[in-house]
Amino acid sequence: MLGRKQADLARSVGISPSYLNLIEHNRRRIGGKLINDIARELGVEPAALTEGAEAALLDTLREAAADHVRAAEELPRLEEFVGRFPGWANLISDTRRRAMELEHSVEVLSDRMTHDPFLSASLHEVISTVTAIRSTATILAETRDIDPEWRERFHRNMAEDSDRLAESAEALVRYLDEASSTEFAGSTPQEELDGWLRGQGFHVAELERPLLLEPEMILKGATGLRSAAAKSLARSYLERYRKDAEHMPLSRFHEEADLCGFDPAALAMKFGVDLAAVFRRLATLPVERVGAEIGLVACDGSGTLTFRKPVDGFPLPRYSAACPLWPLYLSLSRPMAPVRRRVEMGGRNPRTFVAYAICQPSHPAGFDGPQVLEAAMLILPEELATPLPSDSRVDVGTSCRICPRSACAARREPSIMAEAF
Amino acid sequence: MGKRVLLVEDEPNIIEAIRFILARDGWTVETHSDGATAMDILTASPPDVLVLDVMLPGKSGFDILRDLRAHPATGSLPVLMLTAKGQGRDRELAERYGATRFMTKPFANAEVLETVNSLHVGAPGTV
């Protein structure tokens, strides 16, 4: 923002810095007056400020239209529509987003119904026991001349099975009860963790001060984390965060980072830590301190994103798989070899970043256990990074479906954006 | 020599009930509870009819069915599959692997008896 301190700007238009921060990241919609005030303070056209929001709106509408034959025919008139009916356009976009969220919830739930081992085992147990009881009861009811010894045996079996049935039914009810009250979020544990970290700008202040709070204490106060699984993810994250913060104290780390142009290799040498730790630490630097956002993504050996801190201009896919051309995946194919590329994210206003990636193996189950890979990619805005030769640029996207690069060699499915550009 | 049925099932009280029903109708009932060794029993002395549960310890009923269809001694043995899941997917699998009949739990005694008898009388392979 033209080098201007966020806090000053917020003060001059009469809002809090954190609210301004939310606005900047398109997480709060703002009215015309505030837009005009901010634009005047910054000395730019109001339209320049809303461009990001409008681009997101257009993207969502394009995505919605792609699944709808008649709307797709009218795609060429999309901008005219948004211009003339901004309210209706937003309604469609919000409805679309809501529908996607609900679809995702259904997917999570049905995944759970199908794959939940406890549920499937208990249902099997209940049905088996019911079968035995039904069969035995029929014998007792319908066999007139039944031998007393058999009759006694069947009575005993029935009593036994009824007890078992009562127990498994109770366990099932208890499980479903708990599942619906505490565990149900309609989202994956990873998403819960993402949301919680986003809420505090990926900076855990409680772990940065001299007398730091225990991770367990922080978790107790974390209302955004509902499920036990999300809490367990957060616990590992915080433990690692604490170690990183110990090795790379905030003030000194920031100073050194400034001095070396945010070069992760230099910082790794300086602090005696590995590259991935430096990536993680850089991503926790508060945006108001650095003056720009630093993004970070991590994935496991399957390519599944396990950590996502997006930056403006480098959106990360929420549900679908990411762009195969990200340096992150290049590093996955050559563990331990650092990768650095200038990357340009496609879109209306393409932005260039410097991406650093490294993939490191670990052996949590010992020497003969499986090798577990984790790759991480640091996304540095070009103005922060040490300049790279301009001919080394890689054109990337977010995810194939919404990527405008129609001729991409690594494309896995057709884009819905191709004809729009 | 009477008619012999082999029941491969791991639930003791279901075994007891089915054994009782079939035995009263004149069947010689043999039972086996371990999926992993069921094939050995089957090929050593094939019964007239096989009643096979899907969920077994050691080896699933589907795997046993596939193996026995591939074996010359049991290739055309009439098989009644039992499963706790009535879903289309299980039925489809049972049909693909060559089950003669398919029944979901909880079943009615009369139904089991009738089906086992029809498998013995009818030509193998008819559904």
Give the model confidence (pLDDT) of A80-137 as tens digits: 888 888 899 999 998 988 888 888 877 777 766 666 667 777 888 888 899 999 999 9
CATH of domain A6-107: 1.10.260
Pairing status of strand A295-300 against strand A305-309: antiparallel
| Most confidently modeled range among A176-180, A221-225, A359-363, B57-61 | A359-363
Per-residue pLDDT at A45 exceeds 60: yes
Mean pLDDT computed over A340-351: 83
Mean pLDDT of chain A: 84
Work out the pLDDT band at A418, boundaries 50, 70, 90.
Answer: very low
Q: How far apart are CA A77 and CA A80, in angstroms?
A: 5
Interface of B with A (CB under 8 A): 11, 13-14, 16-18, 20-21, 24, 55, 84-85, 105-110
What pLDDT shows up at residue A106? 79
Q: What would the pLDDT profile of A250-308 be if each residue is shown by its tens digit?
A: 999 999 999 998 999 999 999 999 999 999 999 999 988 888 899 999 999 999 999 99
Asked if residues B78 and B107 have their Cβ atoms less than 8 Å apart, the reply is no
The pLDDT > 90 percentage for chain A reads 39
- Give chain A's radius of gyration (CA, Å): 28
Report which residue type is found at A106.
V
Name the nearest CA neighbour of B34 among B69, B70, B61, B14.
Answer: B61
Task: Say whether pTM exceeds 0.90.
Answer: no
Q: Mean per-residue pLDDT for A360-378?
A: 94
Mind listing the pLDDT tens digit for each residue in A212-248? 778 888 888 888 788 888 899 999 999 999 999 999 9
Q: Which pLDDT score is estimated for A358?
A: 97
Contact A280, A240 (CB under 8 A): yes
- Whether A16 shows a pLDDT value over 80: the answer reads no
- Give the pLDDT of residue A183: 47
Q: What pLDDT shows up at residue A32?
A: 67
Which pLDDT score, from 0 to 100, does residue A182 have?
Answer: 46
List CB contacts of A195: < 8 A, sequence separation 6 or more. Answer: A224
Task: Classify burial at A229, counting beta carbons within 10 Å of its beta carbon; exposed 0-12, middle 13-18, buried 19 or more.
Answer: middle
Q: Which of A127, A135, A160 to mutate to test the interface with B (most CBs of B within 10 A)?
A: A135
Contacts of B14 in chain A (CB under 8 A): 128, 131-132, 135
Each residue's pLDDT tens digit, B61-99: 999 999 999 999 899 999 999 987 656 677 888 888 899
Q: What percentage of chain A carries pLDDT values higher than 70?
A: 88
Longest dimension (CA), chain A: 100
Find the mean pLDDT for residues A346-367.
Answer: 89
CB-nearest partner of A139 from B55, B85, B109? B109
Q: What is the pLDDT of residue A112?
A: 67
Instruction: Report the CATH number of the A275-420 domain.
Output: 3.30.450
Give the mean model confidence (pLDDT) for residues B44-57. Answer: 92
Name the residue facing A134 among B20, B85, B106 (closest C-beta): B106
Domains and CATH numbers, chain B: 4-121 (3.40.50.2300)
SS3 A28: coil
- Cβ(A395)–Cβ(A325) under 8 Å? yes
pLDDT at A47: 66
Residues of A in contact with B20 (CB under 8 A): 139, 150, 154
